[in-house]
Amino acid sequence: MTAERKTTSSAAMKEALDIAVKAGGPLFLDFILVNKLSATRLLRFACSEKFERIGLRPRYDSLSKYLYIQLPYSGQDCTENFARWLWESWQNAELLPPTANEMIRREASPKVTGFVDGYKGSYQQPDFFLGPVGANFPSIAFETGFCESSLALLSARDLWIDGTDESTKALVSIDIIRNFEPEPGPEPDSTSEPGSTSEPAPEPAPTSALERQYNVFLEVWKESEFDRVKVFPNILEEEDDPVITLGELWGDEPVPEGYDKDTELPLSRQGLQNCIKKAMGIAIEST
């Protein structure tokens, strides 16, 4: 699913991107040891009119010289849907000020530059941006990734947490892990003992192939905290919903008068699971 190429040639990287787009994969292109000049050339190429409607998501980490391009897939829409659902749920629970819609920017996949320190020259497109209107960086960044692209997830964490001069307070990451397990075989026939009058045990509900193939975790990275909970195919009772705070959402700006910056905004595991099921075409059970 991931193709990693060790090259600094912008021509070779452009060719690899062209081939991947035409073939519809791999889902991720990773290039290491890429200098800023080669990265700039490839980023311009990836953002050119040729690929404008495709929705490529490039990222360049100037500190590690790592360049990563993600091709479109349905998980991106799932992340955006989850972020927008969260916003609506916080409003319905009256956790947000009435002026929140005008004060907080909510946008899918904006291009973000201006990173600081060792990350100068870096470029990023979060799957979703939450932050004060007018701010260059999101206070809460949403990212999606597969375990096969663990280097990309670690790069995103470092970029948002360390490369924004603490403007980004939390990275909300949806980590998708594919299971490489064999299909379950048929259950052996069970017959009742002679003379038994007991009813046969009910058959368990079938599990869809998608539910057998993937595990999804919700991760929240902060400067000195990390939380990871499972959301798909099942939610664990012993785990709790992660939270961000109103103060973290408002970033470097003061929260509106009359509101507590320590107010917790839950990141609902059930809400994310429902978004995943909807994206995968799995029926959502009513609760």
- One-letter amino acid at 204 equals P
Tell me: the pLDDT tens digits for 64-117? 888 878 776 555 678 899 999 999 999 999 999 999 999 999 999 899 999 999
Pairing of strands 140-146, 170-178: parallel
Distance CA 197, CA 199 (A): 7
Tell me: the pLDDT tens digits for 204-241? 444 455 556 678 999 999 988 999 999 999 999 999 99
Q: Which helix (H) or strand (E) holds 173?
A: strand 170-178
Tell me: the pLDDT tens digits for 42-51? 888 888 878 8
Contacts of 45 (CB under 8 A, 6+ apart): 10, 14, 17, 51
